[in-house]
Structure 1
Amino acid sequence: MPKSPTRSPRIEDLVLRDLAVPEDGPEAGDHREGERYSSTSFDGLDLGGISFSECLFEGTSFNETQLRGARFRECRFTELFAPVFTAARSTWRNVRLEGTRWGSAELYDSTLESVRISGGKLDFLNLRSSTLTDVDISDCIIGDLDLTGVKGARVALRNCRVNTLTLSGGRLRDVDLRTTEFRALNGPDGLGGVTIDSYQLALLAPILAENLGLRVEG
């Protein structure tokens, strides 16, 4: 019986209307809704547990901002800047991230659902033990992408360049890596549920042979 084709991420529509300019700055644990932030610096703030719903962030900086347990729902970020981005155990639902520039991004133990990341540069993206559902990452340059222990369904990396990809211990289904270039792979045991093309398979052959204890001679 032929296998079914790899399913693509299902990204919900996102429309933001009637946004207000906030009169005060957000604080940890706040719920902020329907707001627009332009060229705003959140650098160094403690915003742990904060919730943003239906908000637009344009040219904002989140360097060393504490976002542990933060929740983002129906939000759009353009040109988000953060040499150090700390958002462990955060929740992202129906979110767009466009032109993101992250140095070290700590998003381990997080939940991403209906998220699109496009056109960014990320030196290190740590998604260890996160749950990714309907996530589309396109046209990004990523140094190290750590998907150790990730539970992922309908995830696509399209036209990306990844230096080192780590997949150990993940539970993956319909994860599409075709059209993405990666130079090194850690944890080839985590490739179950991943779709690659024939060119990528040829590049991976030595890694897979070593993992299986195969000797190739002649």
Structure 2
Amino acid sequence: MVRGDVKAARRPELRLPELRGYGGGLEPDGDYDGLEFTGTDLGGQDGAGARFLDCVLAGCGLDGTRLRHARVLDSRLTGVRGVGTDLAEATFRDVELFDARLGGTQLHGAVLERVLIRGGKIDYLNLRKARLRDVVFESCVLVEPDFAGARLERVAFVDCAVRSADFGSATLTDVDLRGAGPLEIARGLDRLSGAVISTAQLLDLAPALAGELGIRVED
């Protein structure tokens, strides 16, 4: 369904305090408050259940980092990179993620609220059964993102590429896809009720929509 009254996503408004530099590692259920991680290699470390409040992670390595059930609040991540980062069932609230280079990030069952993802490239992002509310994807590239079974409310895609997305069994409310170019949907075209797309996108998706509906198009 195409709608003109889509509600805009609210963006995070960070007001970070003066931060203290931190060069140590992660611990399960660790508590990190008002810290700045700069260029720290956190690859392979276990921070499951940790809490990050008023933190900045800049240029950090996250290869295979385990952060399942972590809580990231009022924080900024910039230039982080990694493959296979485990953030399943984590919580992100009032978070900015800038210029990330990530692959195979596990965010299934996660909760994202007032999150801005700007710049960078994320391959094979797993957001299955996640809950996204007031989330903006801006000027980034998403390759095969998986939103299957997720709930998206007030989510916007702004000047970004979305390739081979899976929306199977997802629920969309006030999702603005007009700024996605290209917009490629591999699965879940029937779940786009509650989203708004442009006329040009509708024309691009027409062959796939016809196939989804079992319509044979012949000239």
Fold-level match, TM-score > 0.5? Answer: yes
Q: Aligned with 1:29: secondary structure? A: coil
Contact map agreement 1:64 1:82 (CA 8 A) in 2: yes
Residue 161 of structure 1, CA deviation: 1.1
Return the alpha-carbon distance in structure 2 between the equivalents of residues 24 and 203 of structure 1: 49
Residue deviations 1:134-156 (CA, integer Å, cap 9, x gap): 00001111211111111111000
Matched, 1:193 2:186: no
Return the alpha-carbon distance in structure 2 between the equivalents of residues 129 and 103 of structure 1: 19
Residue 53 of structure 1, CA deviation: 0.5
Return the alpha-carbon distance in structure 1 between the equivalents of residues 74 and 191 of structure 2: 31
Residue deviations 1:71-104 (CA, integer Å, cap 9, x gap): 1000101101112211111000000000000011
> Counterpart in 1 of 2:208?
207
Matched, 1:8 2:8: yes
Residue 22 of structure 1, CA deviation: 3.1
Return the alpha-carbon distance in structure 2 between the equivalents of residues 183 and 135 of structure 1: 19
Return the alpha-carbon distance in structure 1 between the equivalents of residues 198 and 91 of structure 2: 32
Return closer, same or farther for 1:169/1:44 CA change in 2, 3 Å cut-off.
same
Contact map agreement 1:26 1:32 (CA 8 A) in 2: no
Contact map agreement 1:50 1:69 (CA 8 A) in 2: yes
Q: Aligned with 2:211: secondary structure? A: helix
Return the alpha-carbon distance in structure 2 between the equivalents of residues 4 and 142 of structure 1: 25
Higher relative contact order (CA closer than 8 Å, sequence separation 6+): 2
Percent sequence identity over matched residues? 35
- Aligned pair count reads 216
Return the alpha-carbon distance in structure 2 between the equivalents of residues 23 and 103 of structure 1: 24
TM-score, normalised relative to structure 1: 0.95
Q: Structure 2: 5+ residue runs without aligned partners?
A: none
Contact map agreement 2:175 2:195 (CA 8 A) in 1: yes
Please give the residue correspondences for 1:43-82 in structure 2 after superposition, counting only pairs within 5 Å: 43-82=43-82
Q: Structure 1: 5+ residue runs without aligned partners?
A: none
Return the alpha-carbon distance in structure 1 between the equivalents of residues 23 and 162 of structure 2: 41
> Counterpart in 2 of 1:183?
184
Residue deviations 1:146-201 (CA, integer Å, cap 9, x gap): 11111111000111112201111111101011121123431111111111000010
> Bigger CA drift: 149-158 or 15-24?
15-24
> Counterpart in 2 of 1:166?
166
Contact map agreement 2:12 2:96 (CA 8 A) in 1: no
Paired AA for residue 208 in structure 2: I
> Counterpart in 2 of 1:102?
102
Contact map agreement 2:79 2:100 (CA 8 A) in 1: yes
Kindly report the root-mean-square deviation, in angstroms, between the aligned alpha carbons of the 2 structures: 1.3
Return closer, same or farther for 1:60/1:23 CA change in 2, 3 Å cut-off.
closer
Q: Aligned with 2:216: secondary structure? A: coil
> Counterpart in 1 of 2:116?
116
Residue 30 of structure 1, CA deviation: 1.1
> Bigger CA drift: 175-184 or 42-51?
175-184
